Amino acid sequence: MRFCSLSSCSYANSVVVQDNNTCILIDCGLKKRDIKPFLDQAGLSAGDIDAILVTHIHTDHVYGLKYICQEKDFPIYSTENIIKKLSENYRFNTSVKYIAFDKYVKKKIGSLTVTHFKLSHDVETIGFIISGGGEQMGFITDTGYVPENCVDEFQSLDYLYIESNHDVNMYKKSSKPRHVIRRNLGPTGHLSNEQCGLALQSMGLKKCKLVVLGHLSEDDNSPAIAISNARRHLSPDIPLASAPSRTPGIWSDHFKSSNQPVPYNSPVNLRQARHDIPRAREYHNS
Ligand SMILES: [Zn+2]
Ligand SMILES: [Zn+2]
């Protein structure tokens, strides 16, 4: 299996996960104008996607749903509660097929299997373990802390996408309103670099092939700070990268063959770049 972040920040979040047979999108917070070009940069079109998983109803995760749903009749998977909130608060231009996850039951979506678990955010939010092709990926973002069960269950992951939202010291000096700062630093806000690092340490990832840090604040964090913090808590042989904020990153399977970053200004034919040439603009790795 492999995955690719299309955008990762407070502006818009969306990540593609696929194996040989099935392609799913986790969230679609993309602006209308970005959906087609961002998918294109990942070598995909909306027609390639089989289903959409929704983590929660914040705009940076669902804004583009109605636009992408005009392209194809996707099933949208989430919990019953999140689906209820989404259908109450969000207006689609087309009819939508919702599928609710059963509690504690794994969901088969094509050849991928999805397990969901609750996170701690100011609205109901879920994370995932996605299995396919004998590999497992953990996905955890928009949470005030990492739940205990993740620490145990994530030990054997092959890939991990985890939030590293802000640097606490930068955040305390932030110009954001006080109530926003309080919320984001609290138990139903976002995972700080420090919390992310401690979670990585506790997980003791044994055979992980790649950790990608996501949802970095564009104002109160930097890829270099987030990565150097996470690296301190992670075995040096595990590749580590941060997802770029408003542009697609490279596919995770690039890291299997090479962990070398491509120069920022490397000329890349995006269409050609489908699977083999990494697009490393704004993509940082250690
Ligand atoms: Zn978010
Ligand atoms: Zn959120």
Query: Domains in the chain, ordered, with CATH?
Result: 2-281 (3.60.15.10)
- The Å distance, Cα 58 to ligand 2 centre, comes to 5
- The Å distance, Cα 13 to ligand 1 centre, comes to 7
Mean pLDDT, range 116-138, rounded to an integer: 97
Specify the pTM.
0.89
- Closest-approaching ligand to the CA atom of 163: 1
DSSP codes of every residue in the chain? -EEEEEEESSS-EEEEEE-SS-EEEE-----HHHHHHHHHHTT--GGG--EEE-----HHHHTTHHHHTTTS--EEEE-HHHHHHHHHH---SS--EEEEPPTT--EEETTEEEEEEE--SSS--EEEEEEETTEEEEEE-S-SS--HHHHHHGGG-SEEEEE--B-HHHHHT--S-HHHHHHHHSTTS--BHHHHHHHHHHHT-SS-SEEEEE---SSS--HHHHHHHHHTTS-TTS-EEE--SSS----TTHHHH--PPPPTT----TTGGGSSS---TT-EE-
Query: pLDDT tier at 261 (50, 70, 90 boundaries)?
Result: very low
Query: pLDDT tier at 8 (50, 70, 90 boundaries)?
Result: very high
Query: pLDDT tier at 273 (50, 70, 90 boundaries)?
Result: very low
- The Å distance, Cα 181 to ligand 1 centre, comes to 14
Mean pLDDT, range 85-101, rounded to an integer: 93
Mean pLDDT, range 4-11, rounded to an integer: 94
- The Å distance, Cα 213 to ligand 1 centre, comes to 13
